[in-house]
Amino acid sequence: MSSTRQSLALPAAMGSSVRRLSNLLAVSYPLLAHATILLDSSMLLYVSSLVLMAATLLPSIATGSKRAWLVALAVVATLMWLHRIDAAVVALYLPPVAINAYLAWLFGKTLVAKRTPLIVRLVELLHGPEEKLDGSIVRYASTLTLIWTVLFVSLALVNLSLALLARPSGLLISAGFEPAVAVPREIWSLFANVLNYAIVGSLFMVEYAYRRRRFPQQPYRGLMDFLQRAGAAVPSLIGEYRSRAAPD
């Protein structure tokens, strides 16, 4: 088993390069998806879908995950099936909904009783175990977790609504239903592939500026230092919540 996994894995020295490539592909996906709609290009549709698949699965493939390879094959097979039934454009409608829904679930599930809100735990990791957090910081981080949850739920619903109503070849039309109100497909794409991310980025920047003023004493020196520290803490954060979710 281990020899098979190692044979599927990329050299360990390539790990950082793989992560950079994955991030670059993730950033390029919405631009490619929007260009697909504006240019009405079938080729770009498949290219953008494969770019998103690579951005999502490359880190796991680099570690030799057989599950990631199976998911990649399933995605390719699904694209081929959608092409055969002349519904490949559906592959563009689903990611904006799925991504926001997943992020809403990721943040929201930590707000239930007896769990530590996601951003509270991130703050704890950034400050270190030796520092006891002030109650005002904990309350702020808890509220911020809720705000991000509400935002991602809202974005998922807006993206789904626009995808259902898009014309031509929106989800309702593709399913054989004529929507009472139609939205040009270009408007859906503008929101899903441009404004969606602009809204997320704007909230992040506004919140960061407010946080720096309200809580000036921070363990990071600036925005880039915060991003690096937060990025380094994410694997531990994800591992903790996965272990808590695993059955005994």
Per-chain mean pLDDT for the chain = 87
Same domain, yes or no: 187 and 238: yes
Same domain, yes or no: 15 and 118: no
Same domain, yes or no: 21 and 50: yes
Residue scoring higher pLDDT (42 or 18)? 42
> Span 2-26, mean pLDDT?
66
Residue that is last in its domain, among 86, 107, 125: 86
Confidence at 6, pLDDT banded by 50, 70, 90 = very low
Check if the beta carbon of residue 35 is closer than 8 Å to that of residue 67: no
Q: What is the pLDDT of residue 244?
A: 65
Angle at which helices 66-84 and 90-108 pack, to 10 degrees? 140
Same domain, yes or no: 101 and 71: no
- Look at 4-8, 14-18, 154-158, 160-164 and tell me which has the smallest mean pLDDT: 4-8
Of all residues in the chain, the percent with pLDDT exceeding 90 is: 56
Residue scoring higher pLDDT (85 or 200)? 200
Q: Does 125 score more than 80 pLDDT?
A: yes
Same domain, yes or no: 126 and 229: yes
> Span 102-128, mean pLDDT?
91
Check if the beta carbon of residue 164 is closer than 8 Å to that of residue 170: yes
Q: How many residues does the chain have?
A: 248
Same domain, yes or no: 203 and 123: yes
Residue that is last in its domain, among 86, 110, 130: 86
pLDDT in tens, 187-221: 999 999 999 999 999 999 999 999 999 998 888 88
Confidence at 83, pLDDT banded by 50, 70, 90 = confident
pTM of structure: 0.85
Same domain, yes or no: 100 and 177: yes
137-165 as b/e: b if 16+ CB within 10 A: bbebbbebbeebbebbbebbebbbbbbbb
Same domain, yes or no: 137 and 226: yes
Residue that is last in its domain, among 53, 86, 119: 86
Same domain, yes or no: 50 and 95: no
Check if the beta carbon of residue 194 is closer than 8 Å to that of residue 30: yes
Same domain, yes or no: 139 and 214: yes
> Span 66-91, mean pLDDT?
89
Q: Does 3 score more than 70 pLDDT?
A: no
Residue 219, classed as helix, strand or coil, is: coil
Confidence at 14, pLDDT banded by 50, 70, 90 = low
Number of domains in the chain: 2
Q: What is the pLDDT of residue 18?
A: 79
Same domain, yes or no: 71 and 127: no
| Domain residue limits at 234 | 89-248
Q: What is the pLDDT of residue 242?
A: 65
Distance (Å, rounded) from C-alpha 235 to C-alpha 242? 10
Q: Work out the burial of residue 239: count CB atoms within 10 Å of its CB; fewer than 13 is exposed, 13-18 middle, 19 or more buried.
A: exposed
Same domain, yes or no: 224 and 139: yes
Distance (Å, rounded) from C-alpha 202 to C-alpha 76? 34
* Cis amide leading into 219 (omega within 30): no
